[in-house]
Amino acid sequence: MQNKVVENMHPLRYKDLPTATFGELEPFLELCRDVVNKRTASAVIINTVTCLESSSLTRLQQELQIPVYPLGPLHITDSSTGFTVLQEDRSCVEWLNKQKPRSVIYISLGSMVLMETKEMLEMAWGMLNSNQPFLWVIRPGSVSGSEGIESLPEEVSKMVLEKGYIVKWAPQIEVLGHPSVGGFWSHCGWNSTLESIVEGVPMICRPYQGEQMLNAIYLESVWRIGIQVGGELERGAVERAVKRLIVDKEGASMRERTLVLKEKLKASIRGGGSSCNALDELVKHLKTE
């Protein structure tokens, strides 16, 4: 059963299904039942793109028996919006301007993931050993019991500040679109994933929760534009992943595939594209309600 592929959901196996580590399974399954209960809903609007997940979308539509409108990526539907809720540190763009093209690893684990001090130390050593420059987002409070990199030994944090650049929060879309950025070390939240693809940046996947783990599986095995780093984080694994992505040929082909997807996503929101059509159909539907 564990290794059985979920019907029509290749490559997902039953053991990949996102379940809860905390507490009992039953309350979690109850939550799933509440979340999938459509009640009287007229349709489902979803921030994804047909070309990324056409078989899942087909299956979803069949199971729900109501229209599904995949109209993503919403962050480029109206490019003038540029919502920013957290304070962004734009000084990192100046720093990126001084780096070589496609050399920088941008590291951000989103707005919620918490990191252990030990994991942070392995991350720092791995990045330093890879000899690539890196832009690292460390939110205050995201490392247990620490405001930032001061929990690292002094000699390490000194080297980190020489080779890398640290901010509390970055203007992510601008960073991903910068010519110096060669890869995105990410927790694989869906917004980050879409943003990375739209800017044509391949990823190093370090998911922390179920939904992110599904995204990481797709990034690595379906779209083949990401490298997963699983298990306990260890400096050698960090260094290898960075080299595979930035230095090796493998990374170059991942970048090519990301650029192909980038164009597909951009085409989807233009007139006649799948997401553009989905939005128009949704608006028509809203007006008849």
Question: Which 195-234 positions form the footprint of another protein (CB under 8 A)?
Answer: 208-211, 213-215, 218
Task: Give 120: exposed, middle or buried? Use CB within 10 Å, 0-12, 13-18, 19+.
Answer: buried
Q: Shortest gap between Cβ of 248 and another protein (angstroms)?
A: 28
- What is the residue type of 88? E
Q: Shortest gap between Cβ of 97 and another protein (angstroms)?
A: 26
Q: Is 177 left (phi over 0), alpha (psi -120 to 50) or beta?
A: alpha
- Cα separation, 167 vs 174, in Å, equals 14
Residue from 5, 75, 98, 159 binding another protein (CB under 8 A): 75
Contact mark string toward another protein, 248..267, x via CB under 8 A: --------------------
Number of residues this chain uses to bind another protein (CB under 8 A): 81
Q: Which stretch binds another protein (CB under 8 A): 26-34, 158-166, 175-183, 243-251?
A: 26-34
201: which 2 tokens? 């940046």
Residue from 10, 63, 100, 158 binding another protein (CB under 8 A): 63
Closest listed residue to residue 182, CA positions, set 266, 109, 92, 244: 244
- Cα separation, 247 vs 233, in Å, equals 21
CA dihedral 267, 272, 276, 279 (to 10 degrees): -160
Q: Could you tell me which residues come within 8 angstroms of residue 91 by beta carbon, excluding any fewer than 6 positions away?
A: 167
Nearer CB in complex with another protein: 16/119: 16
Q: Which stretch binds another protein (CB under 8 A): 56-64, 90-98, 244-252, 256-264?
A: 56-64
Q: Shortest gap between Cβ of 18 and another protein (angstroms)?
A: 5
Q: Shortest gap between Cβ of 1 and another protein (angstroms)?
A: 4
Nearer CB in complex with another protein: 53/239: 53
189: which 2 tokens? 């939240």
DSSP-derived letter for residue 11 is T
248: which 2 tokens? 């090796």
DSSP-derived letter for residue 69 is E
Q: Which stretch binds another protein (CB under 8 A): 52-60, 99-107, 238-246, 253-261?
A: 52-60
Q: Shortest gap between Cβ of 265 and another protein (angstroms)?
A: 14
Q: Shortest gap between Cβ of 243 and another protein (angstroms)?
A: 27
- Interaction between residue 79 and another protein (CB under 8 A): no
